[in-house]
Amino acid sequence: MAWRCTGKTNVELINNMSNHNIISTEIAAAAMGKVDRANFVIRTSEAYEDSPQSIGHGATISAPHMHAFAVERLLPFLHPGARVLDVGSGSGYLTAVLHHLVSPPSGQSQGKVVGIDHIPELVDWSRSNLAKEGLGAALEEGKIEMVVGDGRQGYAADGPYDAIHVGAASPTLPQPLIDQLKAPGKMFIPIGTYSQAVWEIEKDVNGKVKKKEYMGVLYVPLTDAEKQKSGH
């Protein structure tokens, strides 16, 4: 049960998630352990709770167990040197975790993570969160890039991507995101409106696309910026 994983520190939160099998791989635990969630939230006293938290502008930072689940679904494609797109990057927390997986310090081939969000204030805030986290150099070197844009269109300039994470629920599967997946490549995306489920979209080496549905979830909608700001 997710709530049991809440910790007093970041280390405790990650350890609790590992002990309850919410995180089942050491590599994901290590990457999440490197990122202090307190640098990516507004209410820092609740930073290590295993629950989502409002980050303003109609957005939330996802719960740690959802971030862990997403990372582990994408893990086979998050090798050093991989290119990753994080759609609806919000706080920048997951972008930071993904960065550690694809650009390890000793790695020969450096990967790249692009975070895209349509709320300019959130993109600015995520950049300052990443700097607080000690990832200012990664931003300057272009290993992490945070852009303002409509994530439903993806970000073709840096594609194709080994892995695409979508952190907001889309009514349908956006074709540009499928097009920007490498062959092979994998996408994690919540799909639905009132009723949502996480889907895993995998493109094989021949470009054939397979879709698999996971559990029901509740994400912020992948929508128009105006609709999000007005709460509809």
Size of the site for ligand SAH (CB under 6 A): 24
Residue closer to ligand SAH, measured from CB, 33 or 151? 151
62 in active site: yes
SS3 41: coil
221 has which bridge partners? 169
The CA distance from 135 to 145, in Å, is: 11
- For residue 184, cis peptide bond before it (omega within 30 degrees of 0): yes
When binding is defined by CB under 6 A, the residue of 71, 122, 163, 191 that contacts ligand SAH is: 122
Residue closer to ligand SAH, measured from CB, 10 or 223? 223
Of 186, 197, 174, the C-alpha closest to 74 is: 186
Provide the b/e sequence for 27-50 (b: ≥16 CB within 10 Å).
ebbebbbbbbbbbbbeeeeebbbb
167 belongs to the binding site for ligand SAH (CB under 6 A): yes
When binding is defined by CB under 6 A, the residue of 23, 59, 84, 146 that contacts ligand SAH is: 59
The CA distance from 197 to 219, in Å, is: 9
103 belongs to the binding site for ligand SAH (CB under 6 A): no
196 belongs to the binding site for ligand SAH (CB under 6 A): no
User: In the complex, what is the shortest distance from the CB of residue 207 to ligand SAH, in angstroms, rounded to a whole number?
Assistant: 25
Catalytic residue among 62, 89, 91, 126: 62
Residue 13 in tokens: 């939160």
Residue closer to ligand SAH, measured from CB, 89 or 208? 89
Binding stretches for ligand SAH (CB under 6 A): 59-62, 88-91, 93-94, 116-119, 122, 150-152, 167-168, 220, 222-223, 228
